[in-house]
Structure 1
Amino acid sequence: MSKTSSTLHERQSSNGTADSGSTGEDIILECRDLSVAFEMDRGTSRVLHNVDIDIRRGEIIGIVGESGSGKSMFASALLNAVVDPGKTSGTVTYHPSDDESDPVDVLGLDKGPLRTLRWEDISMVFQGAMSSFNPTMDFREHFVETLDAHDYDVVEGIERAEELLADLYLDPDRVLDSYPHELSGGMKQRALIALALVLEPEVLVMDEPTAALDLLMQRSIISLLSDLRDKYDLTMVFITHDLPLVTKLADRIGVLYAFEFAEVGNTAEMVENPRHPYTRALLNATPNLDAPLSEMRPIEGSAPDPVNVPAGCPYHERCPMATADCEDVKPPMELVTDTHEVACHHWRDVDDEVPLSVGVER
């Protein structure tokens, strides 16, 4: 599949700052004012709010945050897959690599084209491999069903499935002739990744793909994903609560807090020089063999209620740096460097106010 560069002008965001990565980068997915909300008896539950981000072709971007921060909703919104009664607004624009193809308004697609896009262009690996498979079908049937549904040549598709399974260090013959209950959790997860890639999508979105696996298998899959990106020229969006894990895979990291991005930057800067006090709190709460237990700091307080997100900076009620401005004025996204942006009024003072303990090993 040929790749081509799409030229984008530098966009000024609604808060007056330029989006990092949008100046001449080859963008494959653009999100603008992306929001997800659920109407409830006690009010509107805001589970993703006015998110602006560009995802670059060929990169691996890690999306991290606490449980309930909006990570899974962001993943679902990228594919217009938020279930009713959730309402998705804003825009998600997909830029195919094909020279002759126009940009695709993902949220505006009818059911048929959307179904095609979800497997053939942007594919997703959901949490929990076991629940993704029909227990009465062997894996070969799963692959054949997917290929048939999209009018792909089954013989060629199974050959690709065999190659993908081998790339993931699985025995293709054994896996294809096995039922889900006959494989371990790690094997099922790798088979699910192969199934998600069998139609040759450009983008792979993964929602906590290693959450139920032991540490050794997590590290193994992380290494395999990096190899797959290089071999198949993939773009990956990796959703996780595990910040140390994603630093070993991602080119960039976006930190979600209260359904918005608090900080986005390349991985080295995010680990070595985070500017948002929440990112620093995540790093300081991470177990590290090189840091004494006394230096670990749990994040005090709890994330905001999605029906009642505070005014101003959504982190101010838990932030040791909060001032009156933080309570009243929402901080804009500001560029720290050309590859790093943060939404914090006091990011220049964070070194003194929220010092880092021993950093995360990359």
Structure 2
Amino acid sequence: MSDSFTAEAVADTTDVDTDPTAEDVILECRDLSVSFEMDRGTSRVLHDVDMDIRRGEILGIVGESGSGKSMFASALLNAVVSPGRTEGSVTYHPPDDEADPVEVLGLDKGPLRSLRWEDISMVFQGAMSSFNPTMGFREHFVETLDAHDYDVAAGIERAEELLSDLYLDPDRVLDSYPHELSGGMKQRVLIALALVLEPEVLVMDEPTAALDLLMQRSIISLLSDLRDKYDLTMVFITHDLPLVTKLADRIGVLYAFEFAEVGDTTEMVHDPKHPYTRALLNATPNLDAPLSEMRPIEGAAPDPVNVPAGCPYHERCPLATAECEDVKPAMDAVSATHEVACHHWSDVDDEIPLSTGVQR
């Protein structure tokens, strides 16, 4: 977790540009699972995930390392590398009401390649290694445009506009090589490259992980502006819950390869109902809470080959009962915009108080 999560950062969720009418689903995931066969058994790294991603929203996906975040991102584009096995369904709903929905996991190689850049694009971890060091940035853009039969001149004009939107000098950047730009600049070029074919959805896997705090906050602000200008839907994958509260309309918390809690950002920060979400908040440095109130999360996340029966969090949860050990909780509606998978969510206010000082 970042040490930037002050009380101000928690409380300041009102600057997130939410649209409560954005209920049109653009990506629909059902029973989405990813697994790998290993010598010691089947490694389950995403399990029966259901998620509706709404057109025009920014959805933040948060969890510890190894919780399934990157697998969820890759599964959305059917990009899990072999020998991984992706099962379930990911349905893309094009903007044209007359166009048929697209089952992403059922696409052949050619249509899938087109969908990955032209409809749903992704910014993978590590801008440092995403570019060919022997090619200038202009060549990277031209190569992408050529590969998808886009008009190169028009595409370069769009690239120049995107780079300007990201506060980069287009002429300097396009005539540069990767080693000539800083990490933060390369990350912004990568975002521009991901958007040059005008996709509807941008999936970002830890796009700010290697950047300093100031650059992280700068990119978060730029992403919000890009969403508004280009009518984008964004999925922002991160381990940094404080950071994503500045950007996302909704937040989904992954634990042990499935969602523990999903809700409107304000509700998730001010009144989370899953013990794990509360533990994440209480383990984060906060200027308003005494150091003595900070609580590390005891124990470790489950082994993907040996996830416990019942609630996957029960071995670390202070509220766990025999029911939690034996019965897996279903998602339960806390409100119209908030759901949680916990048998005892109605007890968390009394049993696990928040130390952030902003509890509703």
TM-score by length of 2: 0.93
**Runs of 5+ consecutive residues of structure 1 not aligned to the other structure:** 1-22
User: CA–CA distance in 2 between the matches of 1:360 and 1:129?
Assistant: 36
User: What is the aligned counterpart of 2:335 among 323, 334, 337?
Assistant: 337
Show the counterpart of 2:71: 73
Show the counterpart of 1:350: 348
Matched, 1:261 2:264: no
User: CA–CA distance in 2 between the matches of 1:204 and 1:255?
Assistant: 19
Show the counterpart of 1:170: 168
Kindly state the Cα deviation for residue 24 of structure 1 after the two structures are TM-superposed.
9.3
User: What is the aligned counterpart of 2:188 among 187, 190, 193?
Assistant: 190
- The 5-angstrom pairing of residues 67-146 of structure 1 reads 67-146=65-144
User: CA–CA distance in 1 between the matches of 2:358 and 2:171?
Assistant: 40
Kindly state the Cα deviation for residue 47 of structure 1 after the two structures are TM-superposed.
0.1
User: CA–CA distance in 2 between the matches of 1:329 and 1:49?
Assistant: 16
Show the counterpart of 1:148: 146
SS in 2 for 1:314: coil
Show the counterpart of 1:43: 41
Matched, 1:238 2:236: yes
User: CA–CA distance in 1 between the matches of 2:207 and 2:310?
Assistant: 34
Kindly state the Cα deviation for residue 52 of structure 1 after the two structures are TM-superposed.
0.3
User: CA–CA distance in 2 between the matches of 1:153 and 1:289?
Assistant: 52
CA displacement 1:279-308 (0-9 Å, x = unmatched):
000001111122221111111100000000
CA displacement 1:33-65 (0-9 Å, x = unmatched):
000000001000000000001000000000000
Show the counterpart of 1:18: none
**Runs of 5+ consecutive residues of structure 2 not aligned to the other structure:** 1-20
SS in 1 for 2:329: coil
User: CA–CA distance in 2 between the matches of 1:289 and 1:115?
Assistant: 47
User: What is the aligned counterpart of 1:30 among 4, 28, 31?
Assistant: 28
Kindly state the Cα deviation for residue 346 of structure 1 after the two structures are TM-superposed.
0.1
Matched to 1:107, the amino acid is: L
Show the counterpart of 2:216: 218
Question: Does structure 2 conserve the Cα–Cα contact (< 8 Å) formed by 1:334 and 1:343?
Answer: yes
**Greater RCO structure (CA 8 Å; 6+ sep):** 2
CA displacement 1:54-97 (0-9 Å, x = unmatched):
00000000000000000000000000000000000000000010
User: CA–CA distance in 2 between the matches of 1:81 and 1:57?
Assistant: 21
Matched to 1:59, the amino acid is: E
Kindly state the Cα deviation for residue 352 of structure 1 after the two structures are TM-superposed.
1.1
SS in 2 for 1:31: strand
Show the counterpart of 1:252: 250
CA displacement 1:85-126 (0-9 Å, x = unmatched):
000000000001023311000000000000000000000000
Matched, 1:54 2:52: yes
Matched to 1:72, the amino acid is: S
Question: Does structure 1 conserve the Cα–Cα contact (< 8 Å) formed by 2:314 and 2:320?
Answer: yes
Kindly state the Cα deviation for residue 251 of structure 1 after the two structures are TM-superposed.
0.1
Matched, 1:285 2:283: yes
SS in 2 for 1:281: helix
Matched, 1:298 2:296: yes
Show the counterpart of 2:317: 319
State the Cα RMSD in Å. 1.4
Show the counterpart of 2:14: none
Residue 305 and residue 360 in structure 1: after superposition, are their counterparts in 2 closer, same or farther (change >3 A)?
farther
SS in 2 for 1:83: coil
Question: Does structure 2 conserve the Cα–Cα contact (< 8 Å) formed by 1:139 and 1:175?
Answer: yes
CA displacement 1:182-206 (0-9 Å, x = unmatched):
0000000000000000000000000
Question: Does structure 2 conserve the Cα–Cα contact (< 8 Å) formed by 1:316 and 1:326?
Answer: yes
CA displacement 1:255-291 (0-9 Å, x = unmatched):
0000000000000000000000000000011111222
User: CA–CA distance in 1 between the matches of 2:246 and 2:293?
Assistant: 23
Question: Does structure 2 conserve the Cα–Cα contact (< 8 Å) formed by 1:283 and 1:360?
Answer: no
Kindly state the Cα deviation for residue 359 of structure 1 after the two structures are TM-superposed.
5.1
Matched to 1:95, the amino acid is: H
Question: Does structure 2 conserve the Cα–Cα contact (< 8 Å) formed by 1:283 and 1:359?
Answer: no
Which shows bigger deviation, 288-297 or 154-163? 288-297
State the number of aligned residues: 340
Question: Does structure 2 conserve the Cα–Cα contact (< 8 Å) formed by 1:126 and 1:207?
Answer: yes
Matched to 1:347, the amino acid is: W
User: CA–CA distance in 2 between the matches of 1:313 and 1:68?
Assistant: 17
Q: What percent of counterpart residues are identical?
A: 89
Matched to 2:88, the amino acid is: G
Matched, 1:205 2:208: no
Question: Does structure 2 conserve the Cα–Cα contact (< 8 Å) formed by 1:28 and 1:57?
Answer: yes
Kindly state the Cα deviation for residue 360 of structure 1 after the two structures are TM-superposed.
7.5
User: CA–CA distance in 2 between the matches of 1:258 and 1:113?
Assistant: 32
